[in-house]
Amino acid sequence: MTNAIIPLILAGGSGTRLWPLSRKSYPKQFAPLIGEGSLFQQSLARLCPPEFGAPLVVTGDDFRFIVTEQMQTAGVNPGAVLIEPEGRNTAPAVLAAAMHLSETEPDALILVAPSDHVIPDDAAFRGAVEQGRAAAEAGQIVTFGIRPTAPETGYGWLELAPDAGAGAQPLVRFVEKPQADAAQQMLDAGNYLWNAGLFLFSARTILAAFRAHAPALIDPVGNAVANAKPDLGFLRLDPGAWAGAQDISIDYAVMERADNLTVVPYEGRWSDLGSWKAVATEMGPDADGNALSGPSTAINCTNTLLRAEDAAQQVVGLNLDNIAVVAMRDAVLVADMDSAQEVKKAVDALKSKGASQATTFPRCHRPWGWYETLSLGSRFQVKRIMVHPGAALSLQSHVHRSEHWTVVEGAAMVTVGEERKLMGENQSVYIPLGAVHRLENPGKVDLHLIEVQSGPYLGEDDIIRYEDVYART
């Protein structure tokens, strides 16, 4: 009986190419961009037992509770969730996971999979992974290449032998992201693939490769793993040691230097959703080339993407061609579809203006649920708060603001000072400035309430925590 392959899902990225839907505080892998569930949840479904073992997940501190909530919703139990103190690119993340797994399973096969790719045919993908198993068990580093359909300059490429066929075969070389003319030449040649960033190898093999080609990473990452601290089901890598690890991709650190490389061509559909144009393609445009999502209407439009992300909106496109419009409650992007790869310029421009929309999602996710600001003034803020069943906010107080809570759905257990009471819909409570208080959901359905804050300072850092079930400081 063959051992199950362990998926290593990388979920720490915070890309900006799909702004405003993808932001630093809530990146695209956790968003429902295409089909059912988030891209992360779709990855979990694609890499589930019995073909695969319990997944390892590497993510950042800001996303740890989003990861566990989405895994729970998907019905998946992780093998481990490793928390990076800060993003250091893919090489340290992969090395840390391999070191962690090798402590108990040094010969385990690891499948490195980004969490934000679209691969619609799960069975075909699993078949491609199985084609690479024998080579990985024999000590090869296996990469998976996508059959190109365009002279793409946003991907690296993989060169095969001129007479390359199907199935696992030696890789000639990695090619950096090319200029347009070089990409066209490779597409015409027929023996090149897109580099999808998907890899299969044993823990023993990849550790040997790091020792040979990126030895400077061994000590800092090894110490970060050795001194990692368990925390509420997570494993926090040691921040002091982790800070000494170079910020480098696994391609640069290992893949472009190794000589034991095998490639498996993948013929099915694949996208890294690197632009709104790619999203429009995966959404399935209509006969006029238009891709619509949410309450949106296209009138005399062609080759246009219209996405309304708020149910209260109505987005209407009139006489548009080759335009992407993505509307959220707090930000709207209008771009030429062929300029969609340059969205980062918009994010940089907003950062320079100090606009919170550059990085902060309108709905802020917390381990207990989420909140969103409905109205904000100089001395007041109105929030909508959702608390999961059985969840609780920290026992806390504020120095600069008072609060008024009104339950609009569900039931709330509220603590204010020494008083503790159960509140139902349409009931409200006042929390004076400085009062120690807590909000809990004792019910079996989500709790929704409206919070009105008033005071001279309304920042999220105006919190003194006395107790917290999520061990936040």
Q: Name the band, by pLDDT with cuts 50, 70 and 90, for residue 165.
A: confident
Residue 115 near residue 43 (C-beta atoms within 8 A): yes
* pLDDT at 466 > cutoff 90: yes
Cβ neighbors of 284 (< 8 A, separation 6 or more) are 291
- Per-residue pLDDT reduced to its tens digit, 412-451: 999 999 999 999 999 999 999 999 999 999 999 999 999 9
pLDDT bin (cut points 50, 70, 90) of residue 51 is: confident
CATH 3.60.9.10 for domain 6-266, yes or no, is: no
CA distance 380 to 412: 23
Q: Which of 227, 151, 240, 234 is nearest to 189 (CA)?
A: 151
pLDDT of residue 473: 64
Q: What pTM, to 2 d.p., does this model score?
A: 0.89
* R_g of the chain computed on alpha carbons: 24
> Quick one: tokens of 16?
């900006």
Query: Which residues in the chain are classed under CATH 2.60.120.10?
Result: 363-467
* Closest by CA position to 293, among listed 320, 328, 338, 319: 328
pLDDT number for residue 351: 95
Residues of the chain within CATH 3.90.550.10 domain(s) are: 6-266
pLDDT score of 1: 47
Three-class SS state of 219: helix
Q: Which of 37-51, 266-280, 401-415 has the highest mean pLDDT?
A: 401-415
The letter for the amino acid at 310 is D
Q: Span 349-363, mean pLDDT? A: 93
Task: With cut-offs at 50, 70 and 90, classify the pLDDT of residue 2.
Answer: low
Q: In CATH, what class is 363-467? A: mainly beta
Structure tokens at 86: 């800060």
> Is the pLDDT confidence value at 78 over 90?
no
Please give the Cα distance from 318 to 338 (Å, whole number). 19
Neighbours of 322 (CB within 10 A): 16
Q: Which two tokens stand for residue 65?
A: 């509770």
Give the residue from 93, 139, 45, 238 showing the smallest Cα distance to 101: 93
What pLDDT does residue 438 have? 97
pLDDT above 80 for 15: no
Decide which of 419 and 3 is more confident. Answer: 419
Under the banding of pLDDT at 50, 70 and 90, the label for residue 194 is: very high
**Average pLDDT of the segment spanning 307-324:** 96
Give the contacts of 459 (CB within 8 A, at least 6 positions apart). none
Mean pLDDT of the chain: 93
Asked if 306 and 288 touch (Cβ cutoff 8 Å), the reply is: no
